[in-house]
Amino acid sequence: MSTNNNNTITIGVLALQGAFEEHQQCLEAISPNIRTVQIRTPDQLESIDGIVFPGGESTSMGLIGDVTTGLWDGLRNFVHNSGKPTWGTCAGMILLAERCIGTSAVITKGQSLIGGVDILVCRNYFGSQISSFEMSTPAPPAPFATVDATDDDDGKKDNDDSSFPGVFIRAPAILTAPPDVQVLGTVVAAPCRAAAVVLRELERKLEAGENVIQLGVVDALERKADGAIGYTNVCLQKNNNGQEDASTLEEEKKDATSVIQERINVTLPGASDETNAREVICAVRKGMILCTAFHPEIADDLRWHKYFVGMVLEAKQSS
């Protein structure tokens, strides 16, 4: 790890909705040589060295971005062509995914995505707002470089490999990532009831040979003859051949919508016997794009922000 003295960098934070101010505070706390700017228009992208897509509500961000003249195209160009780093956290990670399931049922065209990383993301995998929690997650790698010698206690914390306090708020999970995407962290967790029903519908479509780019939420409620309402119960198990299988739902759900393109092979992560708990991915990197499913900006730990700053310095050095 090297130190870049007096190397001022400017990092933009997409400020349409969500925790953009918290990211600014974390980045500026690292060093006085880090400047942040709130990004709301495409012309602001020209003066930054990297950008953060914060956590918040991905559907709202997509709706605002779509109606802001030139912004979504500008962000796509920045992510795909600029060679400058982009970091998406939680909702921001969803925006950077190429494929997404559990999208809003009230949005006609589904979730508006910017793309950049060929990952399959499940929105709200861990549950609703009241299901938010904190759990230990893998620490980020040591940063490529630091801005100056004052941003850490002699660099000791940057090399700290102890677990990171991952805060999951209505959090998504990454279900699959191809070999060219570097997996930086995984956790074992069961999907919420609503996500489990979406996963079952996804499995049905994959078994039928479909390549699912987007899949809407699936009705997870059972409406009984007496007027009672309960949750559909989905339990993923393994069959006798050791392959993943799933029990048949009592009533097939038809409320999902999907966008089908040419077929590709996708294998979902396996489920443990008698439980829906499975290993899912919570952090990845592909080139100059970083994604985390949790919210580092509200943890009392700057290691992921320092890692991203290192990516920005790496890009500047190679440009």
Across 255-264, average pLDDT: 34
What Cα–Cα distance (Å) separates residue 2 from each residue in 23, 67, 120?
24, 42, 34
The whole-angstrom separation of Cα 150 and Cα 119 is 36
Catalytic option among 26, 90, 100, 192: 90
Across 58-76, average pLDDT: 82
Report pLDDT digits (tens) over 223-251. 556 655 555 555 544 434 444 444 333 33
When mean pLDDT is compared over 172-176, 233-237, 258-262, the highest value belongs to: 172-176
Contact present, 305 and 26 (Cβ < 8 Å):
yes
Across 50-71, average pLDDT: 82
Please report the beta strands in the chain, taking only residues with DSSP state E, as ranges in sequence order.
Answer: 2-3, 9-14, 34-39, 50-53, 86-89, 97-103, 117-122, 133-137, 145-146, 164-168, 173-176, 182-189, 211-216, 221-223, 229-231, 236-238, 244-246, 258-261, 278-286, 289-292
pLDDT for 28? 97
pTM of the complete model: 0.80
pLDDT for 177? 95
Query: What is the DSSP code string of 188-245?
Result: EEPPPHHHHHHHHHHHHHHHTT-EEEEEE----EEE-TTS-EEEPP--EEE-TTS-EE
Using 50, 70 and 90 to split pLDDT, how confident is the model at 203?
A: confident
Across 273-284, average pLDDT: 80
- Read off φ and ψ for residue 125, nearest 5 degrees: -55, -40
Q: How many angstroms from the chain centroid is the CA of residue 7?
A: 29
The whole-angstrom separation of Cα 16 and Cα 24 is 14
- Residue keyed to tokens 């967790």: 189
Q: How many angstroms from the chain centroid is the CA of residue 53?
A: 10
To the query of whether residue 122 is one of the catalytic residues in this protein, the response is: no
Catalytic option among 26, 192, 295, 305: 295
Does residue 310 register a pLDDT over 80? yes
Contact present, 97 and 120 (Cβ < 8 Å):
yes
pLDDT for 12? 98
Q: Residue 182: name the closest of 289, 91, 89 by CA.
A: 289
DSSP character at residue 78: H
To the query of whether residue 291 is one of the catalytic residues in this protein, the response is: no
Contact present, 166 and 139 (Cβ < 8 Å):
no
To the query of whether residue 295 is one of the catalytic residues in this protein, the response is: yes
The whole-angstrom separation of Cα 101 and Cα 257 is 10
